[in-house]
Amino acid sequence: MGNFQELITNRRSIRRYTTEEIPADSVKIILQAALMAPTSKNSRPWQFVLVEDSAKLEALAKCKEGGATPIAHCSLAIVVAVDVEASDPWIEDAAIAATYIQLQAQDLGLGSCWIQVRGRYTESDLESETYVQNLLGMPDTILPVCIITLGHPDEKRNPQNLEKLMWEKVHIGEWQER
């Protein structure tokens, strides 16, 4: 087993990628991680839509007013969505699966970035969820929560600085004003 502390210290959001494709076996390992993510009452409400087509990636990059440009330049985007009728803590279930995707990608030497979809709007003021649903032919009950971009990093990010951890955010036993 690898070193989890090292993995999370080095995982940073990567927004620039090379044109190198992600090997199919790496994609399978990433999807296995997503499918192993824990869910409330083992409901497994998540759904994953993989997008590799460059034209579709360009269109997905317009899913919100700003901050989605990495989608247009990644090798693979995974839309993390949920069946909102399958579980009431579906946001949490989707977030855990998205995090598993990012951690597995990091372990494979790939970069990733979380692109928020839920609660955002396109430049024309359309809900981002609706935009993604329409673009990908998703039913109304399957709600996209985020898009995880994946690829070989074309930028270097420094690891987390452990000296800058905000320990004042930790309360033991009860809330303490600081």
Q: Where are the domains of the chain?
A: 23-154
CA distances from 121 to 41, 42, 132 (A): 31, 31, 11
Instruction: Name the DSSP class of 123.
Output: T
Query: Can you read off the two tokens belonging to residue 74?
Result: 């990644």
End-to-end CA distance of the chain: 38
- What pLDDT score was predicted for residue 1? 59
Q: Specify the pLDDT at position 177.
A: 87
- At 91 the three-state DSSP class reads helix
pLDDT for the residue 30 = 98
Q: Sign of dihedral through CA atoms 97, 102, 108, 112?
A: positive
pLDDT by position in tens, the chain (length 178): 579 999 999 999 999 999 999 999 999 999 999 999 999 999 999 999 999 999 999 999 999 999 999 999 999 999 999 999 999 999 999 999 999 999 999 999 999 999 999 999 999 999 999 999 999 999 999 999 999 999 999 999 999 999 999 999 999 999 988 7
pLDDT at 73: 97
For residue 15, give both structure tokens. Answer: 């927004």
Tokens of 169: 């955010």
In the three-class reduction of DSSP (H, G, I as helix; E, B as strand; rest coil), residue 149 is classed as: strand
The CATH architecture annotation of domain 23-154 reads: 3-Layer(aba) Sandwich (3.40)
DSSP state of 73: H
